[in-house]
């Protein structure tokens, strides 16, 4: 199994190298050259399996000979052992035909743990075999950074540096990044916005001397291994509702398009998915694009679902690559237009191809609060604001004959202020992390400056 770049100009790589490099050197994203297929019988055989066994069968064909069967199974077992729910991704019913997939039982209470916990294990195994060490640097608006720190803390072959905007993440998110005591964890509070953090990260990757010198590795949502890990719960949840003998639809609270793109891969592998519905908050570039064909950036308006406050949805490039018939030159041109002019128009043919799989909806702040209150009233389930955006869109989009699964992407206790405002209830942290507010914090404040950041990183890893 080889991986190719969406911009057509980087070398093809096997799974291991695509995973360790993250971004392709032509600026593109890696995708599998062909999509492995699961037959109806293969899917039927998943009935009754544990999450880990399902994960093994779904991901195995993508990994090639990077890991042996027994090593891969062992890494999957380690990745999910720390989850707070035996089912890992339990499904609960909200209404007739409408289900909620709870993806927030991992160590940092957001769905990003599914991918991050696994790639922590995969990195560790691949690097110790190669006798190599890498420096992981990530930028976060909150959830990715805590998930990465939790996944890589204490591992021998990595240092992990997370840039977050000083004063602009929730207290739970900050404490999840600043309280781990392991020496290879470095939480950096940057004097700037999330966009500044992302821009400095990009600068570091474009500084090839620094990039090669510290062996920089990226674990942001464009890393193929993260998308792959997320394919699994589409299978496990659809199978528990009767797939492959019944089609299922999914609604996904969306920002960078990584989570919903995993659903698209599941569909391409043979899982009978009817609709994949993109749910956005007021930062609705994807909804505007899928309805009108114009992909144009706007300024980010902060919302109560901050993990979806994006201007550019990086993984959308992967969907465009397929919609344009896997024409890397066409994708590269769109990305140039985005960079120089702030947007592009999707061709009629490509838009039609996207609409074959994806629907979309946009939710206002007031509707989000109302969805939290209403769902709590009718089901006693407390939704985080991101999940509430999903539920609101799903209720409008679903068709009576097809079950709808909405992905619950974070635990309500991660966003207690918004949840309390909507429902009057302040959701408590799960008992296993109830002492989060008492643990000591460790953080370094840094200027929004490339030189300051690179010298800090080099100094730390020299120790």
**What residues form DSSP beta bridges with 444?**
188
Per-residue contact flags (x/-) with ligand PLP for residues 215 to 244, judged by CB under 6 A: ------x-----------------------
Query: What pairs with residue 3 in β-bridges?
Result: 13, 32
Q: Does 210 bind ligand PLP (CB under 6 A)?
A: no
- The residue among 320, 329, 238, 234 whose CA lies nearest residue 31 is 320
Figure out which of the listed residues 258, 270, 361, 412 binds ligand PLP, where binding follows CB under 6 A: 258
Should residue 257 be labelled a site residue for ligand PLP when binding is judged by CB under 6 A?
A: yes
H helix and E strand count, the chain = 19, 16
Which residues within the stretch 137-156 sit at the binding site for ligand PLP (CB under 6 A)?
143
Does residue 108 touch ligand PLP according to CB under 6 A? no
Site string for ligand PLP, 396-425 (x = CB under 6 A): -------------xx---------------
Token pair in block for residue 136 = 């992981």
Is 112 marked active-site?
yes
- With a CB cutoff of 8 Å and minimum separation 6, the contacts of 322 are 353
Q: Does 256 bind ligand PLP (CB under 6 A)?
A: yes
Q: Does 110 bind ligand PLP (CB under 6 A)?
A: yes
362: contact with ligand PLP by CB under 6 A = no
Task: Give the nearest distance from C-beta 262 to ligand PLP in angstroms.
Answer: 8
Q: Which is nearer to ligand PLP, 193 or 333 (CB)?
A: 193
Max intra-chain CA distance, the chain: 61
Please calculate the CA angle 203-219-388 and round it to the nearest 5 degrees: 110
Sign of CA dihedral 318, 62, 37, 272: negative
Using CB under 6 A as the binding rule, whether residue 307 contacts ligand PLP is answered as: yes
CA distance 140 to 116: 13
Looking at the Cβ atoms of 67 and 257, the one nearer to ligand PLP is 257
Whole-angstrom distance, CA of residue 47 vs CA of residue 399: 25
Q: Is 112 in the site for ligand PLP (CB under 6 A)?
A: yes
198 interacts with ligand PLP by CB under 6 A = no
For residues 389, 390, 391, 395, the Cα torsion angle rounded to the nearest 10 degrees is 110
- For strands 273-280 and 444-446, give the pairing: unpaired
Catalytic one of 9, 78, 112, 339: 112
Least Cβ distance, residue 367 to ligand PLP (angstroms): 16
Binding site for ligand PLP (CB under 6 A): 110, 112, 143, 221, 253-259, 307-308, 386, 409-410
Active site residue ranges:
112
């Amino acid at each position: 199994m080889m991986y190719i770049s969406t911009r057509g100009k980087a070398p093809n790589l096997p799974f291991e190298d695509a995973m360790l490099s993250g971004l392709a050197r032509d600026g593109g994203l890696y995708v599998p050259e062909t999509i492995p297929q699961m037959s109806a019988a293969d899917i039927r055989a998943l009935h009754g399996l544990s999450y880990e066994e399902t994960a093994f069968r779904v991901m195995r064909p993508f990994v090639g000979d990077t890991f042996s069967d027994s090593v891969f199974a062992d890494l999957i077992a380690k990745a999910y052992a720390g989850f707070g729910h035996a089912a890992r991704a339990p499904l609960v019913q909200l209404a007739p035909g409408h289900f909620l997939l709870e993806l927030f039982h991992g160590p940092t209470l957001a769905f990003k743990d599914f991918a991050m916990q696994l790639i922590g294990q995969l990195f560790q195994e691949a690097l110790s075999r190669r006798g190599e060490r890498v420096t992981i640097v990530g930028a976060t608006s909150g959830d990715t950074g805590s998930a990465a720190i939790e996944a890589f803390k204490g591992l021998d072959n990595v240092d992990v540096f997370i840039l977050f905007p000083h004063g602009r993440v929730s207290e739970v998110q900050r404490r999840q990044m600043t309280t781990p005591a392991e020496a290879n964890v470095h939480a950096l509070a940057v004097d700037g916005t999330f966009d500044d953090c992302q821009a400095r990260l990009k600068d570091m990757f474009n500084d090839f001397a620094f990039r090669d010198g510290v062996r920089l590795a990226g674990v942001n949502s464009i890393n193929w291994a993260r998308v792959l890990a997320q394919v699994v719960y589409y299978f496990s949840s659809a199978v528990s509702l009767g797939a492959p003998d019944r089609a299922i639809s999914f609604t996904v609270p969306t920002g960078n398009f990584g989570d919903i793109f995993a659903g698209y891969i599941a569909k391409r592998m043979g899982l009978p998915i009817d609709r994949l519905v993109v749910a956005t908050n007021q930062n609705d570039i994807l909804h505007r694009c899928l309805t009108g064909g114009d992909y144009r950036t706007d300024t980010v308006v902060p919302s109560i679902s901050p993990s979806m406050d994006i201007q550019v949805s990086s993984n959308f490039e992967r969907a465009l690559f397929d919609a344009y018939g896997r024409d890397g030159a066409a994708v590269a041109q769109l990305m140039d237009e985005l960079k120089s002019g702030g947007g592009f128009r999707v061709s009629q043919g490509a838009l039609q191809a996207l609409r074959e799989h994806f629907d979309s909806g946009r939710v206002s702040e007031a509707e989000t609060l109302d969805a939290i209150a209403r769902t709590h009233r009718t089901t006693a389930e407390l939704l985080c604001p991101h999940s509430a955006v999903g539920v609101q869109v799903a209720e409008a989009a679903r068709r009576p004959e097809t079950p709808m699964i909405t992905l619950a992407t974070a635990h309500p206790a991660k966003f207690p202020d918004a949840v309390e405002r909507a429902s009057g209830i302040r959701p408590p942290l799960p008992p296993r992390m109830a002492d989060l507010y008492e643990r000591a914090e460790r953080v370094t404040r840094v200027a929004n400056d490339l030189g300051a950041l690179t010298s800090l990183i080099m100094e730390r890893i020299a120790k």
